[in-house]
A and B are shown apart, each in its own frame.
Chain A
Amino acid sequence: MATNYEDQHPNKAFGWAAHDSSGLLSPFPFSRRENGVDDVAVKILFCGVCHSDLHALKNEWGVTRYPLIPGHEVVGLVTKVGANVEKFKAGDRVGVGVIVGSCMKCEACNQDLENYCDKLIFTYNSVDWDGTNAFGGYSDSIVVHQRYVLRFPDNLPADKGAPLLCAGITVYSPMKYYGMTEPGKHLGVAGLGGLGHVAVKIGKAFGLKVTVISSSPGKEADAIDCLGADAFLPTSDPAKVQAAMGSIDYIIDTISAVHSLPLLLSLLKLNGKLVAVGLPNKPLDLPIFPLVLKRRLIGGSDFGGIKETEEMLEFCAKHGIAADVEVIKMDEINTALERLAKSDVKYRFVIDVANSVSPK
């Protein structure tokens, strides 16, 4: 028997969902649960469009459950809190990021590393506490356990701050964990999209020299003039790549297409670190000699824990860092996703949910 999403929960909600791997979104009335004692109900103001949303919509990872409402870069206003909630009250501005639940008792959860818990509940495309589908932020409201709701600093704009909830933490967390924050050191940011442009800003705020590494020479002006990068390395220019070899301390690799690791590794100094945060859907070739001969490493990192996400938001608020966004209305989403597939956005679409998502 098909699920009746409108009656599944007591509170009416409205969003846009895809029903198959075409990924095309259309209006979708559904419902949200009533607040439990630990829950926070949020009226959604803005939701960022992450490239992961697109991967999920088109079932590129083979794990999508339809109907799918994506969106995990949510900023909104608290409308109601459960009896046990002390951290938030109605009217507060909050964020919801990549996860809405975890087991809360494993080693990872106990270390504030909920993002590495084996039993994660993702904001969308997961099974929620009560066994129902988790529906994401391309919708007018969401109800989330208080532990996974983030304080959103007053001086961060809601529209430009929304993408920090995934893109921001995804680059901030590995920069801290892998020790890539020593002022004066040289950071390379590979790929200049949603993740990459935030990495440039955060890198500059840490006092690093930043070089953008890109296969698109046309991005140079933006990288240097608008984003504040110190240098730009076009990977299609062998002479420039050669000149830059062994000059970079750390690389944040945001590229999600299949690409050349040997080229990036060669740019690293002794003890250099490359962190992969983009998710190519095929394995890359890893040559071992460049790792062994210069004690370099390649690591991964997966968004961040809740505490660290709040720390990142405070850091961005303090340094005036927000994403560069193109605000769209909900009914423009399918066109926006087509453009996203061609990287035709500087650098995140953000849906103005409050003003464009409602049953007509």
Chain B
Amino acid sequence: MAPVDHENEHPVPAYGYAARDASGHLSPFKFSRRATGETDVAFKITYCGICHSDLHFIKNEWGNASYPAVPGHELVGVVTEVGSKVTKYKVGDRVGVGCMVQSCRSCTSCAENLENYCPGMILTYGSKNLDGTITHGGYSNFMVCDEHFVIRIPDNLPFDGAAPLLCAGITVYSPLKYYGLDKPGMHVGVVGLGGLGHMAVKFAKAMGLKVTVISTSPNKKAEAMERLGADAFLVSRDTEQMQAAMGTMDGIIDTVSATHAIVPLLALVKTNGKVVLVGAPEKPLELPAFPLIMGRKLVGGSCIGGIKETQEMIDFAAKHNIVADIEVISIDYVNTAMERLLKADVKYRFVIDIANTLKP
């Protein structure tokens, strides 16, 4: 099979950073994007968040990478062109794109605004698009996307802090709503204080919940309570603390993607309590039936969110002035950022200043 000529694959030249192999090392990459179709919105990318999934992908940890791989699914920018049938956006609008750029638009999931569960969902990067080419993500200078999958970014949300909401934000917002863990006065635990975890704390507090952060790192306590506003902090390796907190939470959002024990988390929730996994450990976790049965507890999963709900989440964030805590970097720092991300050395998302640092 002939290698893809990325620069001429599509009519409009584009440039970005791509990984060429499973080392995950990113370097400048010239490619191209399709012309703006009649339902498309084209926008110049100003910022793109670095999601831990980007790292899993470029290192081919899930076995589904196609190289060269341009990651990035937390991108925001300013509309430069709209197709003739576009009604929701115009040139100059502030917009963003998250994890998906297309779905089948005809199955029951799509009809119920659950495009994220559509079997034909096309991801922003690394997926085969409708025209057979591989999608390239937001570590690039501009994006062309179907209007349906474009999100409006309200004026009062700063671009750089808003970008991570498009994946990290919706990934924790959606299960808080779906599993009914959004009623004022409820007590929710958040396991893991990274990109997802810190957003979960902010959203849960805005919903009027009591929030306890559960972490293996005692040194995150001051951050969690003083800066993020968590009400309590549990060190998961401290048996006494964990025991004292048994049966106190209505639910837990578990953002940890390393293999870990769920049994202690099941003990923390009350009867009818819910442990929701949004981090996806690769290997199965051990699940004894007794804790589920004795307390009518459940373990559920959730995967990002549909487009309608993503917009709802952004509007909720705008109303409550919620953005991610970020470290803005230039594109040429991206490989160092990835090394630091691997060690969880960031509070709490890197965001690439595309507009000012990505040059052709």
Contacts from A to B (Cβ < 8 Å)? 108, 113, 116, 174, 177, 261-262, 270, 276-280, 282-302
Contact = CB atoms under 8 A, between A and B. Distances in A.
B284 interface: yes
Contacts, number: 108
Given A116-B271, A282-B288, A294 B278 contact: no
B247 to A, nearest CB: 8
Contact of B300 (A177, A287, A296, A301): A296
Majority DSSP secondary structure for residues of A touching B: mixed
B300 A276 contact: no
Q: Report, nearest first, the 4 A-B pairs whose CB atoms are least far apart.
A: A300-B292, A291-B301, A299-B298, A297-B300
Contact of A288 (B178, B263, B281, B293): B281
A298 B271 contact: no
Interface residues of B, number: 34
Contact of B292 (A276, A291, A293): A276
B289 A300 contact: yes
Given A286-B262, A300-B293, A292 B298 contact: no
A270 B299 contact: no
Interface string B51-62: 000000000000
18 contacts: A116-B295, A116-B296, A279-B290, A280-B289, A283-B288, A284-B289, A289-B280, A292-B302, A293-B303, A294-B301, A295-B300, A295-B301, A297-B299, A298-B287, A299-B296, A300-B293, A300-B294, A301-B296
Nearest to B266: A300
B114 interface: yes
Majority DSSP secondary structure for residues of B touching A: mixed
A270 B263 CA distance: 25
B120 interface: no
Interface of B: 109, 114, 117, 178, 262-263, 271-272, 274, 277-281, 284-303
Contacts of A302: 293-296
Q: Which of B271, B272, B280 has the most CB of A within 10 A?
A: B271
Contacts of B286: 283-286
A261 B114 CA distance: 25
Nearest to A304: B296
B284 A292 contact: no
A108 B294 CA distance: 13
Contacts of B300: 291, 295-298
A288 B296 contact: no
Given A276-B289, A276-B293, A298 B280 contact: no
Nearest to B290: A279
B284 A288 contact: yes
A291 B281 CA distance: 11
B271 A270 contact: no
Contacts of A116: 271-272, 294-296
A294 B178 CA distance: 13
Contact of B299 (A113, A278, A286, A293): A286
Contacts of B291: 300
Q: Which of B114, B281, B286, B296 has the most CB of A within 10 A?
A: B296
B293 A286 contact: no
A276 B294 CA distance: 11
B299 A262 contact: no
B11 to A, nearest CB: 34
